Amino acid sequence: MSLPIASLPLFVIGTGTLLWFSRKPLRQRGSHGFYRFFAWEAILAVCVLNRNAHGSQALSELLLQSGLVFFLLGFLTLRLQGRSQTRDDAVAQNTLYGWESTTTLVTSGIYRLIRHPMYSALYALAWGMCLRAFDWLPLVLTLMASYFLLRTAQADELECLAYFGESYQEYMQRTKRFIPWLW
């Protein structure tokens, strides 16, 4: 599979948008936002490649729909319970979007089951789009996205440990990272 030339403008515009949103985190090598950019970029490529695929695979659709549910539950819970305020730590000032800059550790709702529902949503999006028209290039890009999402979560956890301390350590011990009760 090769990238159709008609998809190139869409990919370039998407990349430009991601670069603009990630301009601060990309200056902070090792931050969760740094790795997240590369995950987003790989997911964008998979979505552009397979956007016109109309596979009827049940697993693909299940992943895409569950990803939407995970994203909405994670985002809404974080917004409603995270008490987003101005944080004075370097991570918040350099890499966090306003809605991410929580001053309260959120451990209820979807966060009672997993630590990273929005990253889980991105995993589901990447794999769901990959399975729409399974081929080697989307597979390689999805594996790259998966690697960078794992690195994103690991960096995010280090940042949360630095800010929330022991309470985040305890939270990590009782919840899974991406899939409730499994992983």
Burial string for 94-109 (b: 16+ CB within 10 Å, else e) reads ebbeeebbbeebbbee
Q: Which pLDDT score is estimated for 46?
A: 95
Nearest alpha-carbon partner for 101 in 50, 164, 44, 150:
164
* 8-47 pLDDT per residue, tens: 889 999 999 999 999 989 999 999 999 999 999 999 999 9
Where residue 90 falls among pLDDT bands split at 50, 70, 90?
low
Q: Which pLDDT score is estimated for 98?
A: 65
pTM summary value: 0.89
Q: Which pLDDT score is estimated for 103?
A: 81
Nearest alpha-carbon partner for 179 in 67, 25, 51:
67
Where residue 99 falls among pLDDT bands split at 50, 70, 90?
low
Pick the more confident residue, 95 or 155: 155
Nearest alpha-carbon partner for 104 in 88, 80, 121, 120:
80
Q: What is the mean pLDDT of residues 117-135?
A: 94
Lowest mean per-residue pLDDT among 55-59, 142-146, 154-158: 55-59
Nearest alpha-carbon partner for 129 in 74, 55, 179:
55
CB 102 within 8 A of CB 80: no
* Summary mean pLDDT of the chain: 89
* 72-87 pLDDT per residue, tens: 999 999 888 877 666 6
Neighbours of 24 (CB within 10 A): 15
Contacts of 118 (CB under 8 A, 6+ apart): 70, 71, 74, 75, 78
Q: What is the mean pLDDT of residues 146-168?
A: 96
The percent of residues in the chain predicted with pLDDT above 70, rounded, is 87
User: Residue 175 burial (CB < 10 Å; 0-12/13-18/19+)?
Assistant: middle
Neighbours of 23 (CB within 10 A): 11
Q: Which pLDDT score is estimated for 34?
A: 96
